[in-house]
Amino acid sequence: MIPQKQEQNNPIFHYFQMEDLVPQDHILRQIDKLVDFSFVRDAVKDCYCPDNGRPGVDPELVVRMLLIGYLYNLSENRVCQEVRMHAEKRIFCHMTSFEDKVPDRSTINKLRNHRWAQSGLFQTIMHRIVQQCIDVGLVSGRHLSVDGTQIRANASVKSIESIEPPVPLDEYLAGIGFTGDIDDTSRSLSHPQDRDFHGERFTNETHRSTTDPDARLYKKSKGKEASLSYIGHDLIDTKSRVILDTRATIVTGTAEREAALAMVDTLETYTLSDEPSTLAGDTGYGSGDFIADLLDRGIVPHIPLRAGNEPEPIPTWKNKTNFAHIQAKRNKKVREVKARNFSRFIASTADFKLSQKLRKRNEHLFAEAKQNHGMKRARYRGIDPLQEQLYFTASVQNLKRLVAFMRRKKAAVQAHLHENVVSCILLSPFLVWINHFTKTFTHLLHKSIFDFLDKQKYFRFYCVLSS
């Protein structure tokens, strides 16, 4: 029998609970259970007047909406629409019903750009999430990896103009002694913004974008066109793929190495279970001064060198010098040669090969951020708004790692409890306690011995080279 078309029933009132519309294993529910964003109010309390003006929008609500936007790659205008329509996003924003008012896009924009711009809120949010990943056991911080990627600026090549305007035509003709008439007729362009770039050479030293002056012309490799870009850097825990720190920099020849050292220094703000032991990177970080700086920080560099694989002799000079600046240059050269020789020794170990293999996880995180979270192109203009974008993008990526880890941990705990129940049935309580104590003591002993021998193996050889 052919089914009949059902008549639409449009009741005046709907009776339902928002909690019933969203499953318990939804990612927004999991994030809401794991992370407490109540610290946002204390972080931005200095940006508000306590006894004057109209009541402001809840800062925690705005932060939650921004996280939704970066998690699903939505613009601020689209975020406001999605929160207004969908139950799971309202529950994540702690809205109890569909009658709660959603902040306007202009309000979010003013808070983000003006009121909160200098408060350090976005960095605080990321560091809180990273510390929670450390506290639950997801991050150890022992083996690190660093890399950078190109991020297209929110500006067109047509906005590039010369920093210093060219010499006016009348002044140029007077300088060469021309006394004839000047024909002012010129070829009309099809569009006011169109320019004839034929024969004109652009460089970062002579040209700037009028739309985004912080952006620079950059190309990642040979054979590709140059575009207005920035460089985004990530320092990750290699095992867990959690982003420990991220930086946005203007394109320079030393931006990657400078950003890497700055991010390594920020690890002191975390309470890591293990001290950083190794740092993996590509050839772009293989300079002698950068490797020497890592060794001074007690970190073994797993980085291929730009120089050859043959050991270098330690430089010596026949004559001594009494000039401090000359002696400083000599010491710097000796320091870099010793660091490169130590890096050549490390390159022959199995740990180095494994680190180089796992270093590609940086590329995986960059691909995830560009495809799913909108990092392929800068959302806003300027280096500071891009840094905000990187903080939020890294935060949502870390939240995804945290949710997945807690699900696995919950499953492992349930399996372990089941195993203990079975053991208690078969063994006496005393034997169960002895078994647990033996496993724990053996694990701690092996870990301590491995940590001690691992550092001694590398730095004993470095001390021999330095002597």
- pLDDT tens profile 343-391: 899 988 899 999 999 999 999 999 999 999 999 999 999 999 999 999 9
Q: How far apart are CA 77 and CA 444, in angstroms?
A: 52
Tens-digit pLDDT profile for residues 235-260: 999 999 999 999 999 998 889 999 99
- Segment 155-177 shows an average pLDDT of 74
pLDDT interval class at 459 (50, 70, 90): low
Q: For the CA atoms of the chain, what is the radius of gyration?
A: 29
- Reported residue count of the chain is 467
Please give the angle made by the CA atoms of 82, 85 and 91, to the nearest 5 degrees. 85
User: How many CB atoms lie under 10 A from the CB of residue 256?
Assistant: 21
Q: Residue 277: which residues within 8 A CB-CB, separation 6 or more?
A: 142, 143, 299, 300, 454, 455
- The pairs formed by 94-102 with CB atoms below 8 angstroms and a separation of 24 or more are 94/60, 94/61, 94/64, 96/18, 97/18, 98/18
Regarding pTM above 0.85, the answer is: no
**280 residue type, one letter:** A
Sign of the C-alpha dihedral computed for residues 86, 89, 91 and 95 taken in this order:
negative
Name the DSSP letter for residue 377: B
Candidates 241, 242, 256; CA nearest to 147 is 256
Tens-digit pLDDT profile for residues 178-193: 666 665 544 444 555 5
Sign of the C-alpha dihedral computed for residues 98, 104, 105 and 108 taken in this order:
negative
Say if domain 141-153+233-380 classifies as CATH 3.30.420.
yes
Domain-wise residue ranges, the chain:
18-119, 141-153+233-380, 427-467
**Residue 28 and residue 88 in contact, taking contact as beta carbons nearer than 8 Å:** yes
Residue 147 backbone phi and psi in degrees, to 5: -165, 165
**40 residue type, one letter:** V
